[in-house]
Every structure is written in structure tokens, then in C-alpha cells.
Structure 1
Amino acid sequence: MLESWGRMRKSISLIAMPLAFIAMAGEGHAAISYQRLDGAPGQRGLVIKGVFEFSDDPTQLVDEYRQYQADYISFDSPGGNVVTAIGFGRAIRALNARTLQIRALECASACAFAFVGGVERFAEPGSIGVHRVSLSDDDPMDNKLAISSVQSLTGEIIGYLTDMGVSPNLLQLSLSIDSTDIRYLTAAEMRDWNINTPENMPSPQESAPPPAAAPEVSATPADIPSADPNASEEVAASPPGDLTIDAIDFANRYNDEWSKDSASALDFMKSVYADQVSFFGTSVDRGVILKDKAAFAQRWPERVYSVKPGSVTASCAGKCEMSGTVEWFARNKNTGKTSSGMAEFSFVWNTASLQIESETGKVLATDKEAKAPDRLIDQWIGLDDICRGSTDREGAETLRACKRRDALGPLLDRVDWCYGHEGEAGMDWAWHKCDANSKRYGE
């Protein structure tokens, strides 16, 4: 069984193309139906399409799967009834079937529970979306749920996730996201919560948007070893030659540089990309990327981008493959518009040339009509708590938190958010829209 996953490593890009076509051609909100797919030689996929409804029967899936002798199951579903989706997940587990999900298809809300039924699972970052269950008047079960029924359903979901070997954190996250919004899972979350099973999983070629679709993600993180005045402190706190630490530093500095004035930011971008880059799945020369970055900087002349602390993972051997989550706030005073949200990024960074050779990403959440950099202020507060509250003042974690806090503060100042007022006691300082009596950060 695991050997067949290994064979799929080479064929998955061939699978992604017809799946992407199916995603465009299929009906987004039809009853559950099945699409048979010959994705690559010797690999048969069965795509479950449509909304999970109370009346859908998982035995039809069993019949389809056995008749077609599928090698894996994928989804093209915006969700639906949770109990039904769990029923499909248990049927998938009874079939000893594998599940595979790419970004070209949708698997959101209740669909996530069906996906984890796979005995072996692989989903691309950003391909699984979750949010809080909403009760529908059209649902013959959910619209009659009393509090005790909700508690019973929650217990059923937790028991199901446990049976599937998945962390209940998946449910906790979904309950924190409003039912009118959607939150796509990062690579780190899918790994840490065992949504992706760890052994012999394929490394899919991303079915990502072309460069023109990338602007909201184009500012991601970094921190190259440089003439940073705090660099000696960072090196002292890190094992010598630790490429993973270097990768995280690169991620931080990339975002910090992108958050500066546009001329400085674009000058940095000229040096940080290789001559040829795989940019959101397409091989382009550096000039194409710089043009994209310049257009984005013109649209959003004031930007603050910051890596979410603890989100970066990296695998380094000459080159570093890294991924993580970045949060941003941007504004344009001339248009009065603002932009705020969270995105996932992935880089391949050459540690010899100190240049990016591959970049992908996906917007995970946007904050409608956001007027304040709340995500970034929350980052600063969390870092400040570590920096000031740690008992190990010289520990590596404390030093990194202090350094990151002190890098983020001036960036918030750039978009006119200040910490404390003149003459105000330090214990009363708080972040606020800058006014005439505000302290400027670092003063």
C-alpha cells in the first residue's frame, strides 16, 4: 500500500491537471455524486462531489469505490451535514481507502471530517477549510438540536477524530471560526494534528495560481544573516551552523524588508530572488517577480508583514524548504482602503547564494473592513509577554522574542499605531492610533 503512494510522487502533477478541470466543470452545490478519474497510469481516483446532505447514503460510495477499484478518494465539496460527512469518513476507513486533496478542488467545512477517514491521507497546504457548524432550517436533524444534542454531537465528533487518529485541535479551530468565514489549514497544522499521515506521503507539485494571482501573498517572511545590529545576539542564542534557525531568520527579514518604504523594499527584492524562480507553480525570471512586487507596492504603499511566531518549519540540506504563516496589515491613504489577513507561504531558499529559488503561498483569511493592525498588535503583545515574563532572561526563546518584538514595534509605528503616551506610566501603555501626545516606538 505504501509503495503505491511512492509511485504517486511522480504522477501527482498529472493527477492535478484533470482534477482541476473537474473542479471547474463540476456543479458546486449539487447532491453528492461521484467522478471517476484516471489521473495517471495505474492510479484511479474517485472524486466525491457536492454537498453532504442528511439523505446521502455512504453505501453508494462503497459500491462506487469497489466497482471502480479506486486507488484514492478526493473531494470537491463545500461541506454540508456533519453527521453525514462523518458517516462517509467511517465508510472510507472501512474500505481501507486513502484520501488525497489538492488546492484545485474544494474540501471545506464538514468535508474535512470525511477526508480524515482515509487510512492514509495527504492534503496540500490550504486545500482543507474549516469553520463553525451552522444550523440550517433545511436540515431535518440540525434544526432540532437542543443544547444537549449539540453536546452529544460535539462528543461524537471528538470520538470520531480520536478513532481516525486526528487531534481534537481540528474541532477546536473550527469552533473558533465564524460560520460565515472559512479558515484553510496550514502545512504545520495538518502535520502536527495528524491530518496528513506522516509516512511515505507524496510531495505534490503545487496547483497554485500564476504570478498575477499572487499579490495578497507576495509579501512573505525572511531574515538573511546580514549587518543586523542584533545579529550577534541571535547567533549567540543559536547553535552554530543551524540552517533551520537561519531559515527562520530569513523568513523574518524578508517580511521586515518588505514592510519598509517601497523604494527600500523593492531594492531588497532585487537581491533576494534567483535569476529563475518557480513562482506559484510557473518558472519565471526575476524581472517578472519584481514587476509584480512593484505593482503591489504601488497599490499598498504602506505595509506591515510579520511571520506568526512559531509557525515556520524548515528542512535544510544545502537548500532550505520552509513554510509558515504570515500576517499583514496594509493601507493606501490616497484611496482610503486597507487590507488585513493571514497567508501561508513556502520558500525554497538556497543557503549558498542566499536567494529564493521557489515561492508559493495561499491566503488563509482576510479581515473585512479592518481599520487597525489587530493581528500584528496581538503578535507584539505575545512576544512582549515572553520577553518580559520569562524567568530565563538569557534563554534563546526569550532573546528571540525580545528581538522580534523590537523589530515589529517600529513597523507598527510606520502605519501610525503607537504604544503609550508622553507622561503616561509604563503600566498604562497600550497600542492606539497615534496622536499628538503619543510616544513613538523606541523613543
Structure 2
Amino acid sequence: MLEGWGRMRKSVSLISMLLAFVAVAGEGHAAISYQRLDGAPGERGLVIKGVFEVSDDPTQLVDEYRQYQADYISFDSPGGNVVTAISFGRAIRALNARTIQIRAMECASACAFAFAGGVERFAEPGSIGVHRVSLSDDDPMDNKLAVSSVQSLTGEIIGYLTDMGVSPNLLQLSLSIDSADIRYLTAAEMRDWNINTPENIPSPPESAPPPTAAPEVSATPAVMPPDSSHSEEAGASEPGDLTTEAVDFVNRYNDEWSKDSASALAFMRDVYADEVSFFGNPVDKDVVLKDKATFAQRWPQRIYSVKPGSVTASCAGKCEMSGVVEWFAGNRDTGKTSSGMADFSFVWNTASLQIESETGKVLTTDKGAKAPDRLIHQWTGLDDICRTSVDREGAETLPACKRRDELGPLLNRVDWCYGHKGEAEINWEWQKCDANSRRYTSK
């Protein structure tokens, strides 16, 4: 049925073509244009580039696709006009065309709707970004007309997604993300919402992680889509089951990675299987360890902490888990720091207690960050739950207290301390360590 996808499963050259295109493409965004990728027979790609504007005509796409006799369509677009993107998606469906998207190229906002037009679709986790649809600021209107326009647009989007066989949950998620922000879809969301077509879909093609994401992503955990019939939110499962163990493992992994480099790398040697699917590439464990060692040398001081409530896990002999991790890293010798947030996925073998697959993507970086604000915010939220909860032995309170007291010493590792000696506890706050600072101790 999907013979073309079968060819793509075995083809490294297709992704290599896309990555080569990324290497030479400029970063400027303009109205829609087209880039032809000419590879081996059966691997002709047509890349739709630029911002979707009202003036863009999808008949041009139809002409380009037919003249080139493309085998698939991909995107390098930050979005644009939603109605135009939907018209392109319908043109793609009329062409009976396939769509493919890799992390190294951008398909965000309205572009996600154009991608959905593919009769067969494959996108790598983290390659499709969404946020709230907004009306143009150039079109002033009274409140009643604005409400009517929003309702009409929402109805059009839902109808389109239904026609394309994509869950309206995609729209629901996009409406929850501020238009100034962006949220990249996980492997589980892509599968559960039918963004990736469900039958005979290939494994992610064998390619190296995008160079733009490699420094941070390679040091964060990550992996394959969970089975929706077993998927559990972190904390929603009964104590002692495999899902709980998986969530505990993810926290331990990041805590160990946040220790001194010798201890962290010793942990990594034991925790990976002899062969690992590492960002889509089947590699020996030594390749993974070399990657981790290089990163640890660059960033000797590190804190990696899973964002509370972000982990989903599916366990049946092996656990497939994904979530979001926040980090702060530094190098005292160079004075450099790095801070941000990434998604991750793992496949963890519960018999061997080893990782068999890892992938992920940087979601955002904090330019110029000199303080571990993300991790301090995590600690403060956990401390609020721990101190103010009425149910001191509750299912939420005890884990919050435990995680707070695990995170505090990690902040000490990057030279951030909680209060000063002789200072009243009510005045304690996180600050850069000095000679009079208090090292964190459990409350």
C-alpha cells in the first residue's frame, strides 16, 4: 500500500538531501517559493519555502509538483496566513502527495496545517511547531465582528483537520500556546493525533542529529512514541508499577548527569545498551559515551531536571517515555553558560535496566542567561507545594518535597546557594554563592 514509504525506510540519501539543503539555505523568510531536491530515482523532493501570504496561489504548487514529478513535499516555513496554508494543504491532498518533515527544517504555526494535507505523512518528533492562531493586526474590527471571524476560522480549521484525518486536538493544543511562543509536537502526539499516518509508517530515517540542535540535545534524554492504550501521565499511576519506575528512572538519569563529570560518565557507561538508536542512528554504546564525554568537557557544571508533570510513559516489557527537561550549564574556565528547555524520548528495557533508544530536540534557549532561573523556578514551585499543602502525606506533597530536596544540592553544584549564614529563614532566597552563603540542606 505504501510502497514509497518502504523505499524511504531504507533510504539514507533522502534525509541526506534534506540536510544538505539546510546547509546551503539562507535564514531569511519571504513569500512562498519552491526548492527542488534531485536525488536518486524515486527520491525527488519539493520544498515549500517562506511565509504563507494571502497572495500565494496553490496552483503554482500544483504546476511545480507535476512538472518536477516530485515524490514528496517538505517545508521550510515559519507559518503565515492560516487560510492560505489550508488551501495549500488541500492542493497537496488533491495531488495525492506525501509530506515529510525533519527537525533540521522549520515547519511552524500555519505550516502545520499545510503539512496535514499529505495523503501519507511522516514528521520527526519536534519537527512540527504550533501556537495560537491570531487575526491580523492590520484588519481593525469591532468586537462582534472579531468574535464572528474567530468562530468562522475555528470552524474552517476543524473541518479541514477532519477532512485530512487529523485530530482536532492539534487545534486545541495550538490555542493553548501564546502566539509569541512555540510548542513542538512530541512523537506521541504525532501518532495519537494521526499527524503521522498510522499504517506502515517508517521508523525515522537514519540520519545524524541536526547540527543546530546537537550541543544541547545530545546531553538530554529522549525517544519513541508511547502506546496510547498504556500511556500514563507522571504521577497518575499506582506506586510500584512500571510507569512509576520509568518516571523515577528519568529523574535519576538527569540527576546523575548533573553530577561531576567522572560520576556522570560512569553512570552513562552502565545505563546504555551495547547498541543504541541514537537520534535515529543505530550506533555502538561507545559512540554515545564519546558524545557524552565531549559535552561534559565543554560544560563541566550542569543541572538537568525534568519539568514536573511533563513525563508520559508506556510500559510493556520496555518503557517508552517522553517529556521535557530544563537545563543550566556552565564552564568556570571560559565563563560561558547555557540555559534552556528540550523535549526528550527514551526506550528503556526494564529487564536489563538499559536505554535502547534516545532522541530529542531543543525547544528554546535562554540567550545570555547567567542564572539557573528555570531550575530555581522549578524548586520554588515544588517548595510551595511541599510547604503549603494541607495533606502532608498526600500523593502530590511527598513527591514534591522529595524532588525539591534533590534539586537543591544540584543548584549548589553550579554555585547557587540558598540564604546566608545567620540570616533569618524567612529571608532566605537563591543567590550566587559567596563566603557567607548557606549550602542547601533538606528542610
Task: Give the TM-score range, shorter chain.
Answer: 0.7 to 0.9
**2:264 maps to 1:265:** yes
Unaligned 5+ segments in structure 2 are 162-167, 223-233
Q: CA deviation at 1:249?
A: 1.4
**For the Cα contact (< 8 Å) 2:276–2:284, is it kept in 1?**
yes
Residues in 1 aligned to 2:438 and 2:141: alpha-carbon distance in whole angstroms: 49
Q: CA deviation at 1:63?
A: 6.3
Give the direction of change, closer, same or farther, for the CA distance of 1:17–1:290 in structure 2 (3 Å limit).
closer
Give the direction of change, closer, same or farther, for the CA distance of 1:294–1:22 in structure 2 (3 Å limit).
closer
Question: Which residue matches 2:54?
Answer: 54
Scaled by the length of structure 2, what TM-score is found?
Answer: 0.77
Kindly report which structure 2 residues correspond to 1:53-72, keeping only aligned pairs within 5 A, or say none: 53-61=53-61
**2:329 maps to 1:322:** no
Question: Which residue matches 2:5?
Answer: 8
Residues in 2 aligned to 1:437 and 1:37: alpha-carbon distance in whole angstroms: 62
Give the direction of change, closer, same or farther, for the CA distance of 1:337–1:133 in structure 2 (3 Å limit).
farther
Q: CA deviation at 1:307?
A: 1.2
Question: Which residue matches 1:383?
Answer: 382
**For the Cα contact (< 8 Å) 2:326–2:342, is it kept in 1?**
yes
RMSD, matched Cα: 4.1
Q: CA deviation at 1:210?
A: 7.5
Kindly report which structure 2 residues correspond to 1:372-411, keeping only aligned pairs within 5 A, or say none: 372-411=371-410
Which segment drifts farther, 283-292 or 116-125? Answer: 116-125
Give the direction of change, closer, same or farther, for the CA distance of 1:328–1:160 in structure 2 (3 Å limit).
farther
**For the Cα contact (< 8 Å) 1:16–1:104, is it kept in 2?**
no
Question: Which residue matches 1:431?
Answer: 430
SS, match of residue 358 in structure 1: strand
Residues in 2 aligned to 1:100 and 1:94: alpha-carbon distance in whole angstroms: 17
Kindly report which structure 2 residues correspond to 1:33-432, keeping only aligned pairs within 5 A, or say none: 33=33, 47-61=47-61, 73-89=73-89, 99-116=99-116, 122-130=122-130, 142=136, 144-146=138-140, 151=146, 158-163=154-159, 164=161, 165=168, 166-177=170-181, 184-187=184-187, 190=190, 194=193, 196=195, 199-200=198-199, 202-206=201-205, 207-209=207-209, 214-221=214-221, 238-240=238-240, 242-422=241-421, 426-432=425-431
Amino acid at match of 1:48: I
Question: Which residue matches 2:231?
Answer: none
**For the Cα contact (< 8 Å) 2:344–2:360, is it kept in 1?**
yes
Give the direction of change, closer, same or farther, for the CA distance of 1:24–1:335 in structure 2 (3 Å limit).
closer
C-alpha distance after superposition, 1:46-81 (max 9, x if no partner): 643333233111344466678999886532323344
Scaled by the length of structure 1, what TM-score is found?
Answer: 0.77
Amino acid at match of 1:169: L
**For the Cα contact (< 8 Å) 2:213–2:362, is it kept in 1?**
no
Residues in 2 aligned to 1:217 and 1:25: alpha-carbon distance in whole angstroms: 22
Amino acid at match of 1:162: I
Residues in 2 aligned to 1:395 and 1:96: alpha-carbon distance in whole angstroms: 54
SS, match of residue 216 in structure 1: helix
**For the Cα contact (< 8 Å) 1:211–1:289, is it kept in 2?**
no
Among the aligned pairs, what percent are the same residue?
A: 70
Residues in 2 aligned to 1:53 and 1:204: alpha-carbon distance in whole angstroms: 33
Give the direction of change, closer, same or farther, for the CA distance of 1:375–1:161 in structure 2 (3 Å limit).
farther
Unaligned 5+ segments in structure 1 are 135-140, 223-233
Q: CA deviation at 1:419?
A: 3.0
Q: CA deviation at 1:375?
A: 1.2
Q: CA deviation at 1:198?
A: 7.8
Amino acid at match of 1:144: D
Give the direction of change, closer, same or farther, for the CA distance of 1:397–1:190 in structure 2 (3 Å limit).
farther
SS, match of residue 359 in structure 1: strand
Residues in 2 aligned to 1:430 and 1:191: alpha-carbon distance in whole angstroms: 43
